[in-house]
Structure 1
Amino acid sequence: MERYELTAASIGRIEGSATLPATDDGLCLAIGFFDGVHIGHAEVIRQAVSIAEERGLSPAVMTFDPHPRAVLGQDPQFGTVLTPLDDKLSLLAELGVKAAYVIRFDRDFAEISAERFVRELLLPLGVRTAVVGFDFGFGHRGEGKAESLSAFSGGAISVQVVEAVFLDGCKVSSTRIRERLAEGDASVASQLLGRPYVIRGEVIHGDKRGRQLGFPTANVKAFQPYVIPRNGVYAVSVDIFSASGRIESSHHAVLNVGIRPTFDAPGGEVKLEAHLFDFEGDLYGRELALSVHTFLRPEMKFDGIEALVAQIRTDAEQAKQLLSKMTANDS
């Protein structure tokens, strides 16, 4: 491997490095894409952090960007993300990771053999222990398996394989989360993630029709190509960020995902419109984080404005009750 793009640091950035920065301490390295950083991924990370502490190593993660399947054209759904890179790094830091190595995945990198991956990437980093999931594969065409990490390192790297995590008898996976979101099952998606599904974006100008109906909405343009849940209405919580990136305030809300069939023709752009409870003010240009909790109903076309307004009122009351109960249970 002559050159590759690398991002590395204590959840920070060193870009375009031609050589890997070694660490003074050896690494206990969790390796994977970790799309969603779900409860199965969290178990991999927790074991890496625990082993690092036991063996006097530094806990770290190696991940890839963008998704290998998207680059190789194996599955178009992986052009969307559950957790953009910055969010992923923040979640890994919360789990106790001290360094993240982000490999820019492209077709050249995909040609690297499993042996070169170990000898020219992992060993120079000072990896002493690798922690991987049960379905781990690496190198050209996935030729390398967990046991290859030890074999190609001449035994210098020990390997810990973490078995699958199950929820309600089914294996936890990023694919399953995507499927649940596609069905609108935000509650199960949250259980699989270990937290609510979050979409971050900026408030942009819309047609201001919600204000005319008595329910002003924030029209949110997502920052990244997130996996968008099924069209419909959801109970959500919303964090409003300041210009410095800190959470300024949090609110319960009702979110409509869809094309607004009462007003717009079929086939239009899917929009994210949130009506925040107990909020007054101008949100244009502000960053919001939408935490999606519960699916209330599918999107539908109404015969008139009065029927639509009545349903919005019902949706809002249902969302308030659900979110208040959720808040009470968490306290």
Structure 2
Amino acid sequence: MDLDIIHVQHPLSSIYTAEAEPCVLALGFFDGVHLGHQELINLAKRIAKQQDLKLAVMTFFPHPKQIIGNDQTPQTYITPLEQKAKLMQDLGVDTLIVVNFDSAFANLSPSDFIEDYLCGFKCKHAVAGFDFRYGHKGEGNMETLKIEGKRFFEVTEMKKFEIDHEKVSSTKLRVLIAKGRFADIPSYLGSYFESQGTIDSEDNQHVIVTLSEAFLTPPPGVYLIEINTEGNVHEGIAHQIMDGSVQGSWHLHFNDSLHLKGKKIHIKWKSECIKKSKQMKDRRAKTIVKVQAF
């Protein structure tokens, strides 16, 4: 079954609420859809099955910090909406509700958020993490959600999700990506960090990659990568171009010709930084790729 994606903004139109079906609603930003997020959504999924309800997820875009934080620079993401939606579908979510987080929505009181959005989408059981906040200045928390929401729906709070006594969080993943520690990421994300690319042309010497500044990108370094093209896995090496010509440009080096001009590829960043060596010189790049992270 395909995922139903609903984009809404404040004030919420009755067009959306009129078509809403009773649901279990998982709440959060879910950047990365890491193992903690997956545990929360699977918890909501089990409740939905027990209560014979639809499974919905409510998320927000852009990140609240971009609207209410002191730093007004564009927010970067581990998983932009397109990839986030794909992961939600893979987890068995029926409906993804994407709320446009603007200043009007940010000023919504906690009680109005509950009545307008949770009740509006016919939430019968809300599921969120212990640190979930909502409403103006984040005044709403899990305790207020339980108190104010009890007239309308049940509430389940997921406790802190830890691995080796460390909280699994999007912040942790951001730190790992910023340090180029890609080998550690599957322990928290459940998979490798990925970028998406479109192959522009072929070249006998190297692969040129341009990563979008809108999303998280690796720090300068040399990395082991992997791409999957039509069921064929190709391992390669990536390193950043440091000649100052184009910021964010990378070289990808493969042993095989890909012959995939114009097609999109997914790049998995697999290793820690490695030193440039004779291996780098021996690898001949076969494809020029322009990549946009997702």
TM range (shorter): 0.7 to 0.9
Alignment pair present for 1:126 and 2:94: no
Q: Is it true that 1:180 corresponds to 2:176 in the alignment?
A: yes
User: Equivalents in 1 of 2:167, 2:80: separation in Å?
Assistant: 23
Q: Distance in 2 between matches of 1:47 and 1:109?
A: 27
Tell me the distance in 2 between the aligned counterparts of 1:224 and 1:248.
29
Which of 3, 18, 39 matches 2:13? 18
Query: Do structure 1's residue 253 and structure 2's residue 231 form an aligned pair?
Result: no
Question: Within 1, Cα distance between the matches of 2:258 and 2:171?
Answer: 38
Question: For the Cα contact (< 8 Å) 2:5–2:96, is it kept in 1?
Answer: yes
User: Counterparts in 2 of 1:13-92, with a 5 A limit?
Assistant: 13=6, 18-19=13-14, 20-22=16-18, 25-75=21-71, 79-92=75-88
How many Å separate the matches in 2 of 1:58 and 1:161? Answer: 19
**Is 2:84 aligned against 1:107?**
no
Structure 2 residue corresponding to 1:167, chosen from 147, 163, 168: 163
Shift of 1:82: 0.2
Contact 1:165–1:171 (CA under 8 A) maintained in structure 2: yes
Cα drift, residue 18 of structure 1? 2.1
Structure with bigger helix share is 1
Q: Distance in 2 between matches of 1:76 and 1:315?
A: 42
Q: 1:287 aligns with which of 264, 272, 276?
A: 264
Aligned match of 2:290: none
Q: Which amino acid aligns with 2:269?
A: V
State the AA in 1 paired with 2:13.
A
Does 1:278 pair with 2:247? no
Change (3 A) 1:183 1:90: same
Offset at residue 268 of structure 1 (A): 5.7
Q: Deviations over 1:222-262 (max 9, x none)?
A: 4672211221111111134xxxxxx4644222122x233xx
Tell me if the contact between 1:27 and 1:57 (Cα under 8 Å) persists in the aligned partners.
yes
| Distance of 2:32 and 2:118 partners within structure 1 | 24
Report 1:299-314 matches (<5 A).
310-313=278-281
Point out which structure has higher relative CO (alpha carbons under 8 A, 6+ apart): 2
Kept in 2, the 8 Å contact 1:236–1:290? The answer is: yes
- After superposition, give the CA deviation of every residue in 1:257-285 in whole Å (9 maximum; x if it has no partner): x233xxx15x96122322233224353x4
Q: Are the aligned partners of 1:202 and 1:223 in contact in 2 as well (CA < 8 Å)? A: no
For 1:255, give the aligned amino acid. A
* Residues 101-250 of structure 1: pairs in structure 2 closer than 5 A: 101-204=97-200, 211-212=204-205, 216-217=206-207, 219-222=208-211, 225-240=214-229, 247=230, 249-250=232-233
Amino acid at match of 1:286: K
Normalising by structure 1, we get a TM-score of: 0.76
Deviation at 1:183, TM superposition (A): 1.2
| Unaligned segments of structure 1, at least 5 residues | 1-8, 241-246, 301-307, 317-331
- Decide which moves more: 40-49 or 22-31: 22-31
Give the distance between the partners of 1:281 and 1:49, measured in 2 at CA. 42
Deviation at 1:144, TM superposition (A): 0.5
* CA displacement 1:101-121 (0-9 Å, x = unmatched): 100111111011111000111
- CA–CA separation in structure 1 for the residues paired with 2:71 and 2:129: 21
AA aligned to 1:297 is: I
Per-residue deviation at 1:23? 5.5
CA distance 1:106–1:25, shift in 2 (3 Å): closer
Q: TM-score, normalised by structure 2?
A: 0.85
Percent pairwise identity: 30
CA distance in 2, matches of 1:150, 1:31: 14
Corresponding pairs, count? 280
How far does the alpha carbon of each residue in 1:207-233 deviate from its partner, in whole angstroms, 9 at most, with x for none? Answer: x6xx34xxx32x233467221122111
What displacement does 1:59 show?
0.8
Contact 1:199–1:226 at 8 Å: present in 2 too? no
CA positional deviation for 1:77: 7.8
CA RMSD of aligned residues (A): 2.7
